[in-house]
Amino acid sequence: MELRHLKSFIALAKCLNFSEAARKMCVTQSTFSQTIKQLEDTLGSTLFFRNSHEVTLTEAGMELLPFAERTVQAADDCAQRIEDLRGLRCGTLNIGVTHSFNMVMHETLKEFMHRYPNIRLNIIYKPMTELIERLSLRELDFVLSFRPQGHYPKIESHILFEDSLSVIVRRDHPLTRKSHVTIADLSGFPVALPAKGLQARNILDSIMPDTAELNVRVEMDEV
Q: What is the DSSP code string of 134-196?
A: HHHTTS-SEEESSPP-S--TT----------------TT-GGGG-SS--HHHHTTSEEEEEPT
Answer yes or no: are the C-beta atoms of 91 and 85 closer than 8 Å. Answer: yes
Average pLDDT over the chain, rounded to an integer: 85
Q: What percent of the chain has pLDDT over 90?
A: 34
Cα gap 203→54, rounded to integer Å = 81
Q: Is 153 exposed, middle or buried (0-12, 13-18, 19+ CB in 10 A)?
A: exposed
CA dist list (Å): 58 to 45, 49, 68, 124:
9, 6, 15, 57
The answer, yes or no, to whether residue 33 has pLDDT greater than 90, is yes
CATH classification code of 3-86:
1.10.10.10
DSSP annotation of 117 reads T
The answer, yes or no, to whether residue 193 has pLDDT greater than 90, is no
Name beta bridge partners: 91.
119
How far separated are the first and last CA of the chain, in Å rounded? 60
Pairing of strands 91-97, 142-144: parallel
**0.85 cut: is pTM over it?**
no
Cα gap 196→54, rounded to integer Å = 82
pLDDT tens digits for range 42-66: 999 999 999 888 999 999 999 999 9
pLDDT tens digits for range 74-133: 888 888 877 777 777 778 889 998 877 777 777 788 888 888 888 888 999 888 888 888
CATH classification code of 91-144:
3.40.190.10
What pLDDT, on a 0 to 100 scale, did the predictor assign at position 160? 78
The answer, yes or no, to whether residue 211 has pLDDT greater than 60, is no
Domain boundaries, the chain: 3-86, 91-144, 174-220
Radius of gyration from C-alpha coordinates of the chain: 33
Average pLDDT over residues 200-219: 76
Average pLDDT over residues 201-219: 76
Average pLDDT over residues 182-203: 81
pLDDT tens digits for range 60-72: 999 999 999 999 9
